[in-house]
């Protein structure tokens, strides 16, 4: 058990170092900007109209372009359809993380109900986290197509391919 926790602490420190390394005042970090739902081009402007993901009405409403650099957020009709892959991946990652945490802290056994308690807790966790996860998935999806640019303040944006207002919510 001790070895498990040592290994986890080591991994966490490694991850934090990796994230901190790419972060400077001029260049906000990737992970922080993704978690804060910031525009992937400038990592400064907010992508969503509402800040609070738990105000469910309109929680997925996005600005049509980044208020800081002008990067369009809707790249083509049905652009955010692929978000489901990201949100599936995040769900699996959270389940694996909570499984490992449960295993290290509480332990797993089929001779009692500990495994089923984990299933229940993990399901609850995923449901409660759903609103921020859905928004994070969109932010990550957009960041696959729109990379950070040091020239963001010189109007360097990725142009939307076939933007069509009528088809915006057609999928």
Within 49-108, the residues that bind Zn ion by CB under 5 A are 66, 68-69, 71
CB of 70 to Zn ion, least distance (A): 7
The radius of gyration computed from the CA coordinates of the chain, to the nearest angstrom, equals 19
Determine the angle formed by the axes of helices 83-105 and 114-128, rounding to 10 degrees: 140
Q: Which of 30, 33, 42, 141 forms a contact with Zn ion (CB under 5 A)?
A: 42
Q: Which of 30, 33, 37, 41 forms a contact with Zn ion (CB under 5 A)?
A: 41
Q: Which is nearer to Zn ion, 47 or 86 (CB)?
A: 47
Task: Examine residue 39 and tell whether it contacts Zn ion (CB under 5 A).
Answer: yes
Q: Which is nearer to Zn ion, 79 or 118 (CB)?
A: 79
Q: Which is nearer to Zn ion, 102 or 141 (CB)?
A: 141
Cα separation, 137 vs 16, whole angstroms: 21
CB of 27 to Zn ion, least distance (A): 13
Q: Which is nearer to Zn ion, 41 or 118 (CB)?
A: 41
Size of the site for Zn ion (CB under 5 A): 8
Task: Examine residue 40 and tell whether it contacts Zn ion (CB under 5 A).
Answer: no
CB of 74 to Zn ion, least distance (A): 14
φ, ψ (nearest 5 deg) of residue 94: -65, -40
CB of 34 to Zn ion, least distance (A): 13
Within 99-158, the residues that bind Zn ion by CB under 5 A are none
CB-side neighbour CA atoms (13 Å) of 32: 16
Q: Mark 113-122 as b/e (b = at least 16 C-beta within 10 Å).
A: eeeeebeeeb
Chain Cα centroid distance, residue 140: 5
CB of 65 to Zn ion, least distance (A): 8
Residue 157, both tokens: 């944006």
How far is residue 131 from each of residues 25, 53, 138, measured CA to CA in Å?
Answer: 29, 6, 11
Residue 100, both tokens: 């490992």
Binding positions for Zn ion, rule: CB under 5 A: 39, 41-42, 45, 66, 68-69, 71
């Amino acid at each position: 058990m001790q070895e498990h926790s040592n290994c986890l602490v080591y991994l966490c420190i490694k991850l934090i170092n990796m994230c901190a390394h790419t972060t400077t005042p001029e260049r906000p970090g990737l992970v922080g900007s993704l978690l804060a739902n910031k525009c992937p081009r400038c990592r400064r402007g907010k992508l969503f109209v509402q800040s609070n993901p738990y105000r469910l009405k309109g929680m997925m409403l996005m600005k049509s372009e980044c208020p800081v650099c002008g990067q369009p957020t809707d790249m083509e009709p049905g652009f955010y359809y692929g978000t489901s892959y990201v949100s599936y991946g995040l769900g699996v990652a959270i389940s694996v993380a909570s499984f490992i945490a449960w295993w290290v802290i509480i332990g797993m056994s089929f001779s009692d109900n500990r495994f089923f308690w984990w299933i229940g807790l993990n399901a609850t966790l995923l449901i409660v986290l759903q609103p921020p996860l859905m928004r994070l998935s969109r932010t990550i999806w957009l960041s696959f197509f729109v990379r950070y640019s040091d020239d963001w303040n010189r109007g360097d944006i990725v142009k939307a391919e076939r933007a069509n207002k009528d088809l915006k919510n057609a999928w």
